[in-house]
Amino acid sequence: MNPTIIEDSSMRLDRRDFLLAAGTTAAALALSSLPQLASAAETTQAAPYSLPPLPYADNALAPVLSSETLGYHYGKHHKSYVDNLNRLVQGTDWAGQSLEQIIQGTAGHADKAALFNNAAQIWNHNFYWNSLTPKGGGTPPAALKARIEESFGSVEACKQALAKAANTQFGSGWAWLVLDGKQLKVVSTSNAELPLTANLKPLLTIDVWEHAYYIDYRNRRADYSTALLDKLINWEFALQNLG
C-alpha cells in the first residue's frame, strides 16, 4: 500500500507500510546516564527489556518541557511500555528478541497488537528523547541544511511541514522527518506505528500523544510543536541518522 501524500511534502502512513527494515537505526545510540531517573531503569534490569536512561537531566528541557512532564512521560508512560512488554514476552518465543524483531513479526497482526504496540512505543520513545536536546533548534549543521534545502526549499519550509504533520495528526501519533531514497520527507503515523521500512529512514520525530504535552500546554498542541522545533529539536541527531 502506498503512503498517502499530504500537502507540503507531508505524508501519512499506516501500519501495513511498515514491516521492518533490516538493522537498527541510530535510535539505538548509547544514551548517557540520568541520576535523577536511574531508579526507573533499575526495576527492569533483570528482564529482557529495560528502560534506557534519558540523554539529559529531567529538568534540562525546561521551560519548553517541564521536569513534571518528563517525570510522567518517561518515568510512567515510557516505563509502562517496557514493563508491559516484559510481561507479554515472558515464557514465549519472543523473549530475548530485539525490539525490531518483535515489530517485524507482529506488525499488521491483530492477534499480536499488544506486542506490537508496546515494542513499537519503546522504540519510538527511545528515538523521541534523542530527537530533543537542551539548547536545540536553530540552524541545522551545514550538511543537513543543504539536504533540507534540496528537499523543502528552506529550513523554515521543513519546520512548517513538520509542524503541520504534528498538528494535523488526528488523535495520538507521531510526526517524522525521514529519508526516502535521496529525498527528505515529512510523514505522520498514528498510535504506535513507525517508519522503519518502505525505504524510509527515520531522522527525528515529534511525539504528539497528549501525554507528551498536556501538563505544560493543555490542548495547545501547536504551541508545543512550535516550541520543540524552535528550541529543542536535535538537528545533530538527524544528521547522525542521515549518515
Q: Residues comprising the binding site for Mn(2+)? A: 73, 125, 207, 211
Q: How far is residue 220's CA from residue 185's CA, in Å, rounded to a whole number?
A: 25
187 C-beta neighbours (distance < 10 Å), count? 29
| Cβ-Cβ contacts under 8 Å for 165 (sequence gap 6 or more) | 6, 10, 175, 176, 186, 187, 188
Q: Which residues are annotated as a binding site?
A: 73, 125, 207, 211
CB distance 120 to 103 below 8 Å: yes
**Mind giving me the DSSP string for 130-164?**
HHB-TT--SSPPHHHHHHHHHHHSSHHHHHHHHHH
Look up residue 143 and give its three cell numbers: 550538511
